[in-house]
């Protein structure tokens, strides 16, 4: 029987590449995005996982690739911009991790997508950098909490994605989504059974 893999944010450039990579190796992929569930809503996420379990599709693998970026300095920030950055980048990962922590079987794994900005926030990206830094801490703490059950939790730190939109803006040196997806697929596999609590930089040449 195929393992079930849940890809949150699976319609975005990176999420779609992760879903494709996991499906290509034979996993049964479930995509969660704004059309299927509000990943910023704790109750909605719990209900979504209950529906999966009721259908015999409890995931073994979870990729949290949902998120969003809006530039802006601290001096021009407002409560709504901070709330949005937190909900999209930390909240989506937090509520899915909470649901997964209660249900993943032994040998399961979670990969959270943080960002290079989590370690070295750049000017004009304060809310995003703070939210992604929180994703890193969430990953490390949850890895410890789930160690006894042999459920692994890791994170990747992309820098710049090589997408048509980024190239159109003159942003070069990004990592193709498929190459990032390969790293996620490795972490969501038995080949990475000894890896948990890792924060993996995937910067490419940027």
DSSP one-letter string for 86-121: IIIIIIHHHHHHHHHHHHPPTT-EEEEE--GGGTSP
Choice among 49, 128, 142, 175 that is catalytic: 128
The answer to whether the beta carbons of residues 184 and 157 sit under 8 Å apart is: no
For residue 177, what are the CA distances in angstroms to 40, 113, 159, 162, 182? 24, 12, 11, 7, 9
Instruction: Say how far apart CA 6 and CA 28 lie, in whole Å.
Output: 9
Q: No. of H helices and E strands in the chain?
A: 7, 6
Least Cα distance to 109 among 37, 16, 174, 192 occurs for: 192
Instruction: Say how far apart CA 160 and CA 156 lie, in whole Å.
Output: 12
To the query of whether residue 203 is one of the catalytic residues in this protein, the response is: no
Which DSSP helix (H) or strand (E) runs through 39?
none
Task: Give the 3-state secondary structure of residue 175.
Answer: strand
Look up residue 190 and give its DSSP letter.
G
Please identify every residue annotated as catalytic: 128
């Amino acid at each position: 029987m195929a393992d079930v893999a849940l890809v949150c944010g699976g319609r975005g450039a990176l999420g779609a590449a992760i879903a494709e990579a996991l499906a290509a190796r034979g996993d049964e992929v479930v995509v969660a995005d704004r059309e299927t569930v509000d990943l910023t809503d704790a109750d909605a996420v719990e209900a979504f996982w209950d529906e999966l379990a009721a259908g015999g599709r409890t995931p073994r693998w979870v990729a949290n690739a949902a998120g969003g970026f809006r530039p802006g300095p601290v001096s021009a920030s407002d409560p709504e911009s901070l709330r949005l950055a937190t909900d999209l980048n930390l909240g989506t990962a937090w509520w899915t991790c909470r649901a997964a922590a209660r249900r993943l079987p032994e040998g399961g794994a979670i990969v959270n997508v943080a960002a290079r900005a989590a370690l070295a926030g750049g000017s004009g990206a304060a809310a995003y950098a703070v939210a992604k830094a929180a994703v890193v801490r969430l990953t490390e703490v949850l890895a410890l909490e789930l160690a006894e059950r042999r459920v692994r939790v890791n994170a990747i730190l992309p820098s710049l994605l090589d997408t048509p939109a980024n190239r159109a803006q003159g942003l070069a040196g990004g990592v193709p989504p498929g190459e990032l997806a390969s790293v996620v697929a490795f972490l969501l596999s038995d080949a990475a059974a000894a890896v948990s609590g890792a924060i993996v930089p995937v910067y490419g040449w940027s």
